[in-house]
Amino acid sequence: MSQIVSRFSLICQLNQTRLLSLNSIKTLLLLIKLSKQFVFLCLCISFPTDNLPPAISPRNYHGWNEFDINEEEPLWKKYISQFKDPLILLLLASAVISVLMHQFDDAISITVVLIYIFFGVCACLQEYRSEKSLEELGKLVPPECHCIREGNLEHLLARELVPGDTVCLSVGERVPADLRLFEATDLSVDESSLTGETTPCSKSTSHQPSATNGDIASRSNIAFMGTLVRCGRGIVIGTGENSEFGEVFKMMQAEEAPKTPLQKSMDLLGKQLSLYSFGIIGVIMLVGWLQGKRILDMFTIGVSLAVAAIPEGLPIVVTVTLALGVMRMVKKRAIVKKLPIVETLGCCNVICSDKTGTLTKNEMTVTQLFTSDGLHAEVTGVGYNGAGEVLLDGETIHGFSCPSVSRIVEVGCVCNDSIIRSHTLLGRPTEGALIALAMKMGLESIQQEYVRVEEHPFTSEQKWMSVRCDKAGVYFMKGAYEQVIRFCSSYNSRGTTLSLNHQQRELYQQQISYMGSAGLRVLAFASGSEMGNLTFLGLVGMIDPPRSGVKEAVGTLISSGVAIKMITGDSQETAVSIGGGFELFYFCFYVGPVSLQNIGAVVAMTGDGVNDAVALKAADIGVAMGQTGTDVCKEAADMILVDDDFQTIMSAIEEGKGIYNNIKNFVRFQLSTSIAALTLISLATLMNFPNPLNAMQILWINIIMDGPPAQSLGVEPVDRDVIRKPPRNVRDSIITRSLIIKVLVSALIIVCGTLFVFWREDNVITPRDTTMTFTCFVFFDMFNALSSRSQTRLVHEMGLCSNRTFCYAVLASIMGQLLVIYFPPLQSIFQTESLSIFGEKREHDNSSKVQTLRSLTEQENFYVLCFCLYLCRHSPNRIYLLFGQTCCSW
């Protein structure tokens, strides 16, 4: 205390400017430690008024009691930021070049750009609606308050408060600023808006010399801005950004949400495709120049090839796939606010989960009773609905059939300020558990038989509560065993009062240790006619039971490589016991996502209070509680659990892994088709061969590559075994070695098959020849799409019709191909001819007809060969043996 007094003496010698140079946290800790008299003296140091009104001078130093929100980014800038993806920039550049060079046959690029502009508007609006967390903080500050200035009670705007003002609080009002309490009677504050904890916090006016910069709940003489109170008075010690809410506000402004792994992968893919595209332009121009061709002509060809290599549909597929994932997550009781977050869940390898309400039900339930005479009763049932029984040696206890147990229940029911109405608790969870216990024994109405004449309310300092009733002047007490036992001189033994001895105390202490090792919260009960001469009745053990299915979900995630860390404020013994029930062995009394991210972890973090908002925003995936979470917390989070259930997080991770696999399948299909088409055009150009495909046919292939079959790969159902696979490494590119091999094998089959059919035709290139080559390429691409549905499973394992959208898309593409071949108006556009097994009537001889029949038959046989190759494509030995190469692993 001498150090505090000397510290205060030093402050008194400072001028006001130097006092204000102390940051808000240090000032707050100082005022917590000082007595209320010293606080008055400290905050009433005269300001250099300069003939200003009393409140104006301190406001020049402290500013207004409000949050200074930075100027909001204009909507047009948010829209432009949607196109910073290198892949989108490359796509935009290809569309512009196509227009400038009058290559309108590549209209697919231009069309996709227009479509993505629409999706950009949608994404921009989604982001605009999500960025409201800072505004929600302002809603927690009341607009008006009652303040005492110069001895007069005034009704002021809350923004006008300055340090030194005295604020009067009434029932149900929100605290307008951080207050140091100096007058309070039975004051409790609802700090759930700040901490997320629903249990009211008891407040006092006493100073705390040992206070540290720790838990907010431990600062019992401070009422924080934005919290709800019963009644009391306090002196203003922190306003605006110098309050506890202000600290959260400043950290949220400084915190930037990290890029998602998908965004990083797409950035890398865009850079890789850009590098390959410019490399193709350079090689083509160099070879053409060496062959003596015009530079401008070769530049035109090079640009066309580079544009053909770009998977224009990829941005749309990614957006649509993520949007569909968000819709599926809504059905699983999770609201995802940002599209890329869905995929980020798939590579999450650390989950920091709150215990109360997420892993547990947030419904305190009595499970054990131990009477003072040694009886041990078990309690069944969970929640506040009164369902369950009290069992003693296997027999049900009801009413007063067992006096030793009934007296404990009687005390717990009478010494209680909470009520249960329609299975909903109004009050403290521990008191709700005692009322539910009384309901199970049919004793809930006993509370109405007593009238209180005196009450000692529960406080965090004394850790007990007692009431005196008019019925024979009896006292009822409940609380922590260490506190209750101090008021007891005897104990109840089967209706007889015996003197409390050391042996009995040891017995009770052993029972408390036993209950504590089981994760139970223990309360002691006593009654009597005098407060200092009470009779000890027994102990009750209660627990917040785990949610159903959580243990299985935790086990599945741990086995797949996801570390689960339980965040709790319970004692180490309780935390170990509860976590052991979930097979968890990592417990955190405080943890921040940044420290985990620094070692390469992808962190999902749950939270429900304002003080959690900064951590949720810094985490890779911030998860807010939908039922118990504050509005600020929900706005700062990336995902909201509607039912506060941990199993929903596991479903979200499963969905994220499935979405990434679908995107990877799409990339594989598009790249294999692009490389196949690029190879055909490049070989024809570089080797001076006749072009096997004309411009409109290439356009049709490009449409198929980016159209329905490709888009339908994004809605492939999630593999049932994907949740058991380990999270992917965020440093891995979306184009891996195995994917490259699969892409090259698929492209090689398409190119070889198409060139084989083209080579078997006559030397003179006719529309019929290009039609056969064109049709062969399209059918090969359909088989390619079929094999791209999964990276690990065969077609018959997935089920041919498990993805009906894909079946419809392939059927539509085949119908479109038949129309291109047989519908006369389209024949003229695509320069195709009708194909028939009997050939067409021409001015050729019979040998030409025989050649046509033979070529078509060979083509049909090759289609069958192609189909067989794709069905056995997951057997590397067969594929590489067919191509005469050495077997190697994919």
Residue 522 CA to residue 535 CA, distance in Å, equals 18
**Would you state the structure tokens that stand for residue 880, as one six-digit string?**
């590489």
Phi, psi of 711 (to 5 degrees): -65, -35
User: Minimal CA–CA distance to 428: which of 453, 474, 460?
Assistant: 460
- The alpha carbon torsion through 641, 646, 649, 651 (nearest 10 deg) reads -110
User: Minimal CA–CA distance to 564: which of 548, 545, 580?
Assistant: 580
Relative to beta strand 621-625, strand 603-607 is parallel
Residue recorded with tokens 């303040």: 147
Angle at 661 between CA 657 and CA 665, to 5 degrees: 170
Task: Write the CB contacts of 779 (distance below 8 Å, at least 6 apart in sequence).
Answer: 817, 863, 866
How distant, in Å, are the alpha carbons of 119, 163, 191 from that of 203?
Answer: 52, 20, 11
Q: What count of other Cβ atoms lies within 10 Å of the Cβ of residue 711?
A: 18
Look at phi and psi of residue 377 and say left if phi exceeds 0, alpha if psi is from -120 to 50, else beta.
beta
Beta strands in 106-215 (DSSP E): 144-149, 152-157, 166-169, 178-183, 188-190, 201-202
Residue 517 CA to residue 298 CA, distance in Å, equals 79
How distant, in Å, are the alpha carbons of 161, 407, 517, 520, 581 from that of 483?
Answer: 41, 19, 20, 18, 30
CA atoms lying within 13 Å on the CB side of residue 340 = 15
Burial of 558 by CB count in 10 Å (0-12 exposed, 13-18 middle, 19+ buried)? middle
Residue 119 CA to residue 129 CA, distance in Å, equals 15
Phi, psi of 376 (to 5 degrees): -120, 120
645 is catalytic: no
- Please report, in angstroms and rounded to a whole number, the separation of the first and last CA atoms in the chain: 72
Residue 67 CA to residue 44 CA, distance in Å, equals 25
3-class secondary structure per residue, 186-244: CCEEECHHHHCCCCCEECCCCCCCCCCCCCHHHCCCEECCCCEECCEEEEEEECHHHCH
If you ran DSSP here, which 8-state letter would residue 359 be given? I
Residue 26 CA to residue 30 CA, distance in Å, equals 6
Phi, psi of 102 (to 5 degrees): 60, 35
If you ran DSSP here, which 8-state letter would residue 729 be given? P
Phi, psi of 304 (to 5 degrees): -60, -40
Number of H helices, E strands in the chain: 34, 29
Phi, psi of 309 (to 5 degrees): -80, -10
Write down the catalytic residue from 85, 165, 190, 354: 354
**Which of the residues are catalytic?**
354
